[in-house]
Structure 1
């Protein structure tokens, strides 16, 4: 039913329905972490002339405001496992539109290839012979790092950085907790707020000290940004007390201590490290 409604919304004069035009093209565009000023020049140029846009829930209103008023906007995003359109149907829709001759901007929060399922969509387009292009964006971890004052690497604190997801595909492999718990690195976990207590327990169980600095950053780079910082031991209760909500990133490592000094961005609220 949802896919039928989306197809009906697209089937306008000059649209894909019944079209026999040569294959079009799909641009998989990174919308960045939220602040529209962090869009790349290329992404902003594509948005300014877009006519058909498939976008995620996490693409902010400020970014969507850059679209022409007559652009057709279709939300196909996912939030907390609630899908406007299942990923497989999104892939099929992109292929169908491309083969019908449409010029499609597929707008994805952050970067298309960093936990954005852009790789799956690009593979579907490639298999169908639909021309496509990837426009990278500043990923949420990079935006969070800059705006929250938590460097991803620092010579005194972290010589490497790891991005991980807080939930896996059903039936997929569990996170490599031993690798995530290595010393002298920064770990940024996407989509992990719902399992924050378990994440903190697993990191301690696999070798990190309970007083390792850790933070949750909500709505990074936007006016609603909040940083709740503590330790692996205290963070779950702090986040619960502060009623932190998605979208949020978890960041673990000694670099979190620098937030007090480097957190230049005005925040709606903040809980400072206590360990």
Structure 2
């Protein structure tokens, strides 16, 4: 029992040190703690053009230091009344790590497959509730003491289902996505133990290009985050478009509120 407690404390400390990597709108190359389980509840509010909201329930499994898996379910009132839209499976494998004291560089490959019963009316692709399809990509993350910087490139492919296509509306096919994220640990100024609350600030740039016609968009997404006892995480963020030529986008203007709970050493 004594050794189990020590493992949990060490895992919490590691999570605290790397808190500024827990980006709000993207994933880092680092994984969650090995043999851990996480539960997330996310609410998103969108103006498109009237206010709509989506809730995402998510369970995450950290099988080892290199591989993790997410399972998500989506519900929203995007089409009039709140209903179950679909689900998603996301996996990430960390294949490179160069670690040093208070710094590291990591790279990971990821993939997602999603299903959704929503009608389709834009060439944008959002695999967290709006489209059926898959994606795959690469993430690279650099941690430098209290600053974390991360970049990703993603290939997105929508499954074409004519029965859900809105007549006369653009049809999604492929998108190349990219992101550049930064996170900074503001508090604690001096780390003493894993019980100290962490306060992080983030700024992320999110974009995509349709390779068929060259139309693109770029969003900016500032966010704040509190982590309590290295187990409970609270995120608040807002995403808005800086420039773009893709019409009727799902996530053009969107707030995000999330709470996450982590259970260390939960997988035997």
TM (norm. structure 1) is 0.28
Higher strand share: 2
TM-score if structure 2 supplies the norm length? Answer: 0.29
Structure with more of its chain in helix, by fraction: 1
